[in-house]
Structure 1
Amino acid sequence: MALNISSKGLSGSIPPCIGNLSSITSLDLSNNAFLGKIPTELGHLGQISYLNLSINSLEGHIPDELSLCSKLKPTTSLPPDIGNRLPNLQSLILSMTHLSGPIPSSLANMSKLEMIYLVATGLTGVVPSFGLLPNLRDLDLAYNHLEAGDWSFLSSLANCTQLKKQNKIYGIIPSEIGNLRSLTILYMDNNLFSGHIPPSIGNLSNLQILSFALNDLFGEIPDYIGNLAQLIEFHIDGNNFSGSIPSSLWHWKHLEKLDISDNSFFGYIPPAVGNLSSIRDLIFARNNFFGHIPSTVGNLSSLSILSFAQNNLFGHIPELVGNLVKLTNLFLHGNSFSGSIP
């Protein structure tokens, strides 16, 4: 049994007697002018599997009694005109909800928006342009099923400090990303990006966390990455990078986490690795590094995780590694070390 009275111009409160419709399986009251609170009597609808109360003027809390509707499937889409209806909204936070469909392009009309959090919602389709949102600081679209659209809007997000797009977006990383000079956190991991890291990344001098992990990026790490002197975390694991590590990287005094595992880097691990005085996690596993572990690793007194596993290293494990009293995880297997364990 279904009742659909959507878009009928109805007003007033939703009558409590609606809870008497004990056999109803679908109820659609959307796009009317209902106001007041959601009646607790809706919890009596034990057979209902679809309930739509969107685009009304309801207020208050969602009643706990709705949890009694065990067959109810919480899934819906964002109204296409949400941006026109809520032009003064400053924060849109709908993470971990059960949404479907695309992100409405009308969000671009919410010129006062400062935060958009749509994490793990189930949204699909192309990411719309947010270029008309000059106040946007945080944009988090992670863990959905979104696709890349026109990235040029990134040039307009001058105040953006956090950008997270962990989807299955493919293509190259847009050079416009270098215009986000206020950015402190950039998560672009777990996508299908290919190509090189764009030179414009070197413009992001305020970055503290940068992750391009689990993509299809390749080539060498560019020298200009050393311009990111404020970095605390750098993750590029699970790509196809090769070559040696640029010397500019060893000057990151604030770096605490460095993960370059599962790539094709080669060459010696230089003694300059000992300059990373704040490092806690140092993960170089599953590359093609060869030679000895430099003794300067023993100077990294804050190390908690050290992994050089599955490379082509040989020789003795430095005695000073035994002085790393904060070390909780040490992975050196898959190499050709000799001698005793310090």
Structure 2
Amino acid sequence: MATIKDVAAAAGVSVATVSRVVNNGPKVSAKNRELVKKVMLELGYRPNANARALVTQTNPTLGLVFSELTDPFFATLAGGVEKITRNHNIQLLISNGLVSAETEKQAIETLLEQRCQALVVHAKALSNQTLIDYANAIPAMVLINRFIPEIAHRCVWLDNQAGGEAAARHLLSLGHRNIACISSNYDIEDPRLRLEGVKSILAESNTPLAEHAIATAEPNEIGGEIAAQNLLARGLDLSAVIVYNDAMASGVISVLCDNGYRVPEDISVIGFDDVLLSRYLRPKLTTMRYPIEMMAMEAAEMSLALANDENVADLHKYVPTLVKRDSVAPPRTNQT
């Protein structure tokens, strides 16, 4: 990675001149300013904008990277962060990562260029090593909904496997044995861990989850519809479905009802997240609560504390909890 000295040498100017250009300082000719900017671009030099913000304190900001602007889950996440920034009189800047490694990296870089004081990052596509490198370069960066052992004290995360286990246990306790799963097709750890949790509990009860009882699609309402249609097309004898998130669950319930199934009398449905939508579905959705607002508030507080060189706790793990509503009931008949 190019340094400020490399830029100065290539441009034939002093390090002080490069520094003035970086910080929009005076006493630099237009010719030299353009030359330095050109060399910075050619060498791929990126000033440590986060460090500059911590020194200058000119425009205190917290940057938030998340995945999807229209998803109610991420709206809740952003709302939690915004509560903290408002309490601290800090400006909040948001950049969308779109579950793409390239876009997530661009989102982080964009916020750094805006001289954010601190960063809360929800990144699912970037590798562990890339995020470790960012964390080492950005002292006030905190990851949310991601656990990386090497930077565990900078992670606020949910035990997704425990959530899958709890959902499966609840259905088994009611007598369900013919259980299917609808999951996200995103290549990220959350769906894998939730599915692993479901599989482990069902295997322990001698009712292993068959591969043909698993359907995947995009983690939204339309994806839920598509996955439910695919399950029904397989002619499975189902009494319950565990769904990746509440948005997908709403699509699942719609398709079941359109095909003459009653929820929960014929097929029970359990979601994940406990977003606002789950309270207003009919029937009201039984789901695993993901305390994302609480987690987001903690992540924001942590990030601001790190920006001020304050100590933070070592472990920030959360566990999903079951919210019982109306979409789950015991199966109509005993199952084998």
**TM-score, normalization: structure 2?**
0.29
Q: Which has the larger radius of gyration?
A: 1
Instruction: Identify, as 1 or 2, the structure richer in strand.
Output: 1
User: Relative contact order: is structure 1 or structure 2 higher (C-alpha 8 Å, sep ≥ 6)?
Assistant: 2
